[in-house]
Amino acid sequence: MRRLSLSLIGAAIAYSAAAAQDPAAVQAAERASAAESAAEQPTAPVIVDGATLFRVRGVSAYPAERRAAEIADRISALASDRTVPVESLTVNETPVASLIVARGRRVLGVLDADAELEGLTRQVLAQAYRARVAEAIQAYRHDREAAVLWPNVGKAAMATIAFVLGIALGLRALRWLRRIVERRYHARIQDVRLRSIEIMRAEQLWRGLERAMGLVATLIALLAGYVYLNYVLILFPWTRALGYSLFGALVGPLATLGTGLVAIIPNIIFLTILALITRYAVRLVRVFFQHIGDGTIKFHGFEPEWAQPTGRIARFAVIAFALVIAYPYIPGSGSEAFKGLGLLIGLMFSLGSPSVIGNVVAGLSLAFRRAFRIGDRVKIGEHIGEVTHVRMLATYLRSPKNEQIVIPNSVILTSDVVNYSTLAPEQGLILHTNVGIGYETPWRQVEAMLLESARRTPGLRSEPEPFVLQRKLGDFAVDYELNAYCDTTRGIMALYSELHRNILDVFNEYGVQIMTPAYEGDPEQAKVVPRSQWFTSPAKAPSVERVVGDSVPRLPADVALTTRIDSEGYPSRTT
C-alpha cells in the first residue's frame, strides 16, 4: 500500500514537471477539461427548416431553448429578406463575444461559454457558425423559389397517385392471395391432436393464418404510408421539419422498445414456453376431469359430480403456480410502478368483491357437500324447485310454476337444503296431508276412508302401503295424517291436488264431515256435499252407472284407474 501511494505521488510530480515545460499542453488540457464540464450543461439546437445548424448554451435567466428559438427566428427573417446578400455576413469581435452580423443586423453572438462547449476558441467557433448560417440562408432562399416549388408539387402529386394506386392494388392482391390460399390449402388443414386429445381445431388454424396475412398486409401498408408522408413532407420547406421529426417520432419509440425487447428476449422466451406449458396443462386437466365426470375414468370413492369443481380448483392451482414462477421474469415486475399497480388492483379486488369470492368458494363446496344434483327437486329456504344449473356464483331453480329462481351460493351454504329426489327412486317420497275429524266419527272409519282416497289417487305407490297417523287429539277434532309413497318428485303439487279431491269425494260419499279449524257447536245440518250436488253446473259428470234402488248417480269403481300421469309428472283425468 505504501509503495502504491509513493508511485501515485511520483506520477503527479512528473506530470506537473512536463506541463511546466510545455504551455501548449497545459492549454489543451484546460480546454479539454472545460469542454467536458460544458458538455454537462443543458443546450438546445438551432433549427431552420428542420435542419439543425448548431447547439447553444443558456443560463437560468435566459434558457438555452429560448436563445436557440430566437436565433432561429432571426436567421429565418434574414433569409426571407432577399435584399440582404449572404456575403454580408461578417464576424465582429468584441471583448465579450464574437458577433455575427449582416448589414448591421445582429444574428447571434458567440460567447466563450459556447466555445467551451465545442472545445475550441471563440474566434474559430464564430467563423464556423458564420459559414453554417450562410449555408442555411442559401438553402432557405433556394427551397422557396418557384423553379423549385412547382416541380416538388408535381412530385408530391405523383407520389399521392402512386400511393393510392398502390393501396388499391394491394387490397386486390390481398383478396386474390386469400382466394388462392383458401382454394389450395384450406381443405388440407386438419385438427391438431395429441392422441385422443384435441389441441387445436382446423378452423382455429385457418383463422390464425388469415390474421397473419392481414397483419403482414397492414404492416406493408403502414410502411408505405410512412414512406409517402416522409417523402412529401420533406419536399416543402414549411413541412420539412415535420418530415424530419416523423422518422424520430416513429422510429424513436420503436428503437427504445426494440432495445428494451432485446434486453428482455431471454425472459420473453421463458415466459412464452411457460405460457404454452401452462395452456396445455390446463387443457389436459380439463379433459381429464371431463372424462371423470362422464364416467370414462373412474376412481374408487371419487364421485363423478365432484369432477367439475375439482377440475376448477386444479386449473386455478396450475395457473397460480405458473404466475408464481413467471413473476420474476415479467418485465418491470421489480419497479415501484408495477408494485403500486399490483397493490391497487389487490385493494380494489379485496374491497369490491368479498361477496363474489364468498359465492365462488360456496359454489365449489356445494358439489362436495352432495346436497343436490342437476335435476333434483329441492327446497332451499322458502323456495321449492328443480335444480337446472349450478354456476360458480349462483344456483338456478325452476319452480313448479315455471319460474326461474336464482339463489346465491353463499346463501345455500348457510341454509337448510331439503332434497326430495335423493331417496325417491329407491325408497319413495312420502306425501302427507292432514284432516281434522270430530270425535263422534270412529277413527277406524276415518283411516279406512283416507286409505281409500290414497288408493284412488294415481301416481301413489301401493307398495309400501299408505298409512295413517293420528298426530294430535285436539280440543274439537282428531288430527289425522295420511302418508302415501310416490316414485317421482315431478308433479308433486298436482298429486297433492288429486289426493285432496279424492279425500273430499270419499268423505262426501260416506257423509263424514271434515271439521273446520274453529268449533263453536254442532250445526243443524252436517257440512257435507250430498251426492246429487257433486256435478252442479258448470261441472260435467263423467260416464256413470245407476245403482239399483238409488236414483242418485254413482261414480264407477274404475274412474280412478283411468286417471294417468303425463310426461311432466302431472295427473290428467280421463274417463
User: If you average pLDDT over every residue of the chain, what do you get?
Assistant: 77
pLDDT at 366 over 80: no
Q: What gap in Å lies between CA 140 and CA 8, rounded to an integer?
A: 57
Handedness of CA 360, 361, 364, 367 (dihedral sign): negative
Mean pLDDT over 77-85 rounds to 87
Is the peptide bond preceding residue 464 cis, with omega within 30 degrees of 0? yes
Q: What gap in Å lies between CA 377 and CA 384, rounded to an integer?
A: 7
Q: What is the pLDDT of residue 525?
A: 67
Q: Flag whether 515 is in a domain.
A: yes
Strand, coil or helix: what is 471? strand
Domain shared by 435 and 567, yes or no: yes
CATH number of the domain to which 403 belongs: 2.30.30.60
Contact call for residues 289 and 307 (beta carbons, < 8 A): yes
pLDDT at 469 over 90: yes
Is the peptide bond preceding residue 331 cis, with omega within 30 degrees of 0? no
Domain shared by 442 and 564, yes or no: yes
Domain shared by 120 and 191, yes or no: no
pLDDT at 12 over 50: no
Q: What is the pLDDT of residue 158?
A: 93
Domain shared by 205 and 182, yes or no: yes
Q: What is the pLDDT of residue 276?
A: 92
Please report which confidence band the pLDDT of residue 546 belongs to, taking 50, 70 and 90 as the band edges: very low
Domain shared by 161 and 234, yes or no: yes
Domain shared by 19 and 85, yes or no: no
Please report which confidence band the pLDDT of residue 545 belongs to, taking 50, 70 and 90 as the band edges: very low
Strand, coil or helix: what is 461? coil
Domain shared by 178 and 300, yes or no: no
Tell which of 143, 165, 191 closes a domain.
Answer: 143
Q: What gap in Å lies between CA 276 and CA 462, rounded to an integer?
A: 62
Pick from 161-165, 323-327, 457-461, 547-551 the range whose average pLDDT is largest: 161-165
pLDDT at 483 over 90: yes
CA dihedral 209, 213, 215, 219 (to 10 degrees): 160
The larger pLDDT score, comparing residue 471 to residue 367, is at 471
pLDDT at 258 over 70: yes
Q: What gap in Å lies between CA 437 and CA 453, rounded to an integer?
A: 15
Domain shared by 533 and 446, yes or no: yes
Q: What gap in Å lies between CA 425 and CA 570, rounded to an integer?
A: 17
Burial class (CB in 10 A: 0-12, 13-18, 19+), 453: buried
Contact call for residues 468 and 451 (beta carbons, < 8 A): yes
Q: Flag whether 361 is in a domain.
A: no
Q: What gap in Å lies between CA 231 and CA 243, rounded to an integer?
A: 8
What confidence tens digit (pLDDT) does each residue in 381-423 have? 888 888 888 777 788 888 888 888 888 877 777 777 888 877 7
Mean pLDDT over 322-343 rounds to 78
Mean pLDDT over 305-313 rounds to 74
**What pTM value is reported for the model?**
0.41
Q: Flag whether 359 is in a domain.
A: no
Share of the chain above pLDDT 70, in %: 76
Closest alpha carbon to 487 in 418, 563, 426: 426
Mean pLDDT over 243-259 rounds to 74
Q: Flag whether 178 is in a domain.
A: yes
Q: What gap in Å lies between CA 64 and CA 58, rounded to an integer?
A: 4
The larger pLDDT score, comparing residue 496 to residue 557, is at 496
Q: Flag whether 365 is in a domain.
A: no
Q: Which residue has the cell 389436459?
A: 284
* Structural domain count, the chain: 6
Q: What is the DSSP string of 377-446?
A: EEEETTEEEEEEEE-SSEEEEE-TTS-EEEEEHHHHHTS-EEESSSSHHHH-EEEEEEEEE-TTS-HHHH
pLDDT at 281 over 50: yes
Q: What gap in Å lies between CA 257 and CA 343, rounded to an integer?
A: 26
pLDDT at 224 over 50: yes
Strand, coil or helix: what is 545? strand
Q: Which amino acid is at 195?
A: R
Q: What gap in Å lies between CA 564 and CA 254, rounded to an integer?
A: 78
Task: For the chain, give the number of residues.
Answer: 575
Q: What is the pLDDT of residue 189?
A: 67
pLDDT at 7 over 50: no
The helices-and-strands tally (H runs, E runs) of the chain is: 16, 19
Q: What is the pLDDT of residue 364?
A: 62
Q: What is the DSSP string of 495-522?
A: HHHHHHHHHHHHHHHTTPPBPPSS--S-
pLDDT at 303 over 90: no
Q: What gap in Å lies between CA 225 and CA 121, rounded to an integer?
A: 46
The larger pLDDT score, comparing residue 122 to residue 4, is at 122
Domain shared by 167 and 289, yes or no: no
- Please, which residues have CB within 8 angstroms of residue 83's CB and are 6 or more apart in sequence? none
Please report which confidence band the pLDDT of residue 484 belongs to, taking 50, 70 and 90 as the band edges: very high
Domain shared by 274 and 316, yes or no: yes
pLDDT at 284 over 80: yes
| Domain housing 341 | 267-352
Contact call for residues 460 and 466 (beta carbons, < 8 A): yes
Pick from 50-59, 290-299, 414-423, 539-548 the range whose average pLDDT is largest: 50-59
Contact call for residues 565 and 459 (beta carbons, < 8 A): yes
- Phi–psi pair at 126, nearest 5 degrees: -65, -40
Pick from 198-202, 262-266, 283-287, 332-336 the range whose average pLDDT is largest: 283-287
Q: Flag whether 239 is in a domain.
A: yes
Q: What is the pLDDT of residue 369?
A: 67
Extract the C-alpha cell encoding 483: 302418508
Domain shared by 442 and 568, yes or no: yes
Contact call for residues 378 and 418 (beta carbons, < 8 A): yes
